[in-house]
Amino acid sequence: MRKKLVLSIIIFTILFIIDQVLKYGFTHFNLNIDGPYMSLQLAYNYGVAFSMFSFLAEYLKYIQLSMVIAGFIYLLKNKEVFTEYYLPITLLFAGGLSNILDRFTYGGVVDYLYWHYGFEFAIFNFADIIINCAVAIIIFMQIKQWQAERKEKKNKS
């Protein structure tokens, strides 16, 4: 458990710093670049995914911070969950807390990766990629666990 916690803190710190440095660069220097498929373009998201709930912009930072704190408390009481899912949890916390810090620092989440080839897609950031990777890892782990349980049941019968 201790080894996983230390590794988790290291990964969290590295990813959090990378994301914040990228966002600082886009907010303080003109890093906008137009490309044929993807552009780098500064934008602020005052809502959540695809700007949903932007009418709650002033309160989202507190709502999201409360959710992170609740998740942290849950993990303190259920250490086995952290032990099993420490990597995706670390990714979720790094991306989530970095985006929450944006809300306190810039008033909204700093986005800059704009996909526009074939269809207009949302503008997103490195933290969003981290969060999506965490969700993919959790889904993969759940599928593997389900398959193992199914195989075990089949072997018992």
User: Is 19 a residue of the active site?
Assistant: no
Nearest to 99 by CA among 132, 137, 121: 132
Measured CA to CA, the distance from residue 127 to residue 116 in angstroms comes to 19
pLDDT the model gives residue 117: 82
Quick check: 30 and 108 in contact, CB under 8 A? no
Catalytic site residue from 19, 34, 102, 111: 111
Question: Residues 19, 34, 102, 128: which is the catalytic one?
Answer: 128
pLDDT tens digits, 97-155 = 999 999 999 999 999 999 888 877 778 999 999 999 999 999 999 999 999 999 888 88
In terms of phi and psi (left: phi > 0; alpha: psi -120 to 50; beta: otherwise), the region of 21 is: alpha
Domain ranges of the chain: 2-145
User: Does pLDDT of 47 surpass 90?
Assistant: no
With beta carbons less than 8 A apart as the criterion, state whether 94 and 131 touch. Answer: no
pTM of the model as a whole: 0.88
What token pair was written down for 8?
């988790």
